[in-house]
Structure 1
Amino acid sequence: MTELKICVGSACHLKGSTEVIDIFKKCVDSRNVSDKVEIKGAFCLGHCTEAVSVCLNDKIYSVAPENAETFFDKHVMDSLCEELL
């Protein structure tokens, strides 16, 4: 199971973390990976000055609502493919 943590702290909330979570949920459903990806909220991932902080495989990324779907396809789906190998 791949764990996708999205910061819901004050700074990230103001920058759109709720919208990023909603986009990620839609991606999980539309790509039929609900049995492989778990979306979790997290408080402060330590990158408050950047966009919404997202942790995937112990690496922190900055994701904005505008690029959330692209991020999901590039990083999350690629990570799932690597797990299958």
Structure 2
Amino acid sequence: MLEVTVCVGSACHLKGSAEVIRILKDLIAAYDLGDQVTLAGSFCQGHCTDGVVVRVGEELITGVSRDQVYDLFQKKILGRCRL
């Protein structure tokens, strides 16, 4: 199971983490990956000045905007799943 967490702390929330979560949730559903990917919110990842923080497995990705979510999904999540 691939664990994906998105920071929902104050700084990330203000920079759009709720929208990032919504898009990831929609993509996971669209690709029917609910049995392979868990999506959760988390609090501070220690990179508050770097924008929305997403952790995919052990990899920390900073500065994620809503416009980057599809590319992040394709490169970091979809490739680790069985289709």
Question: How much has 1:80 moved relative to structure 2?
Answer: 2.1
Corresponding residue number in structure 2 for 1:12 = 12
- Aligned partners of 2:74, 2:9: CA distance in 1, in Å? 24
Give SS of 2:44's match: coil
Q: Runs of 5+ in structure 1 lacking a partner? A: none
- In the alignment, structure 1 residue 74 sits paired with structure 2 residue 79: no
Query: How many residues of Structure 1 are paired with residues of Structure 2 in the alignment?
Result: 82
Corresponding residue number in structure 1 for 2:66 = 65
Percent identical pairs in the alignment equals 40
Q: TM-score, normalised by structure 1?
A: 0.90
**Per-residue displacement from partner, 1:34-65 (whole Å, max 9, x unpaired)?**
11011010000111111210011211102111
Where do 4+ consecutive residues of structure 1 move more than 2 Å?
none
Question: How much has 1:70 moved relative to structure 2?
Answer: 1.1
| Aligned Cα root-mean-square deviation (Å) | 1.4
**Per-residue displacement from partner, 1:56-82 (whole Å, max 9, x unpaired)?**
12111021111111101110111225x
Q: Runs of 5+ in structure 2 lacking a partner? A: none
Q: TM-score, normalised by structure 2?
A: 0.92
